[in-house]
Amino acid sequence: MELDLNPVTRITTGAIGPPGKRIFYLQARKDDQLVTLIVEKQQVQTLAIGLERFLGDLAERNPELPASSGDYKREEMVLEEPLEPKFRVGQIGLGYDEASDRVVLVARELPDETQESEVVRFWCSRSQLRAMCQWGLEVAGQGRPICGNCGEPKDPEGHFCPKSNGHKI
C-alpha cells in the first residue's frame, strides 16, 4: 500500500509511556485523514539533524526561497487520539518538489519477508517539517537522565555503570 498526504494540514511526533519504555510516533493529518506510525527515538533525532542539512543545501541551491521557521505551539504538537499506528517505520527519506515548495517525508515500513512494505508520503511546508523536528528533539530530550560517567541513560530503578565496575549508581 502507498499513501500520499498531499499536503498535510498538521504533522508532529510524540512519545507515550514512562522514560526508558516510551513508544515514539510520527503522526500527520490531511483534512479528516489521520495517519500514525511508530518510529524509534533515534529516527526522530536523526531526521531532525538530516532535515537541517537538507534545508541548508536547499537554501544554497535556491537562495530566493524565503526562510523557514521552526517555531511551534506546544498545544498544537500533541499527538491526537486514537493512536492506531499503521506500521513501524524502517526507513525515512526526504525529497523536495520545487513547483509546490513542499518537502516530502517518505516513511517506509520495516521490511517483512511475508509481505510488501507499506509507504506513506507526507507532503509538508518547510516550516511544518522544521517545527516537527524541533518539537521531536524536545520530546526525545525528555527521556531518562544521562550518566555522567559512561554517557548511557540511567534507569529509574538504578544504573549499572560499566565505568564504575558494574556497581549500581
What pLDDT does residue 147 have? 75
In a domain, 70, yes or no: yes
Between CA 52 and CA 93 the distance in angstroms is 13
In a domain, 156, yes or no: no
Is 139 or 142 the better-scoring residue by pLDDT?
Answer: 139
Residue 142 scores a pLDDT above 90: no
Domain count, the chain: 1
Residue 37: which CATH number? 3.30.2450
Q: What is the DSSP string of the chain?
A: -EEEESS-SEEEEEEESSTTS-EEEEEEEETTEEEEEEE-HHHHHHHHHHHHHHHHHHHHH-TTSPPP-----HHHHSPPSP---S-BEEEEEEEEETTTTEEEEEEEEPPBTTBPPPEEEEEE-HHHHHHHHHHHHHHHTTSPPBPTTT-PBPBTTB-B-GGGTT-B-
In a domain, 79, yes or no: yes
Within 13 Å of residue 24, how many CA atoms lie on the same side as its CB? 21
Reported as a single tens digit per residue, the pLDDT across 20-66 is 889 999 999 999 999 999 999 999 999 999 999 999 999 999 999 99
**Backbone conformation region of residue 100, classed left if phi is above 0, alpha if psi is from -120 to 50, else beta:** alpha
Which residues constitute the domain of residue 38?
Answer: 2-144
What pLDDT does residue 24 have? 97
Residue 169 scores a pLDDT above 70: no
Reported as a single tens digit per residue, the pLDDT across 75-116 is 999 999 999 999 999 999 999 999 999 999 999 998 888 888
Between CA 34 and CA 67 the distance in angstroms is 28
In a domain, 107, yes or no: yes
Between CA 61 and CA 104 the distance in angstroms is 17
In a domain, 157, yes or no: no
> Predicted confidence band at 160 (pLDDT cuts at 50, 70, 90)?
confident
In a domain, 150, yes or no: no
Residue 132 scores a pLDDT above 90: yes
In a domain, 112, yes or no: yes
The whole-model pTM stands at 0.84
In a domain, 84, yes or no: yes
Reported as a single tens digit per residue, the pLDDT across 143-157 is 666 677 776 666 666
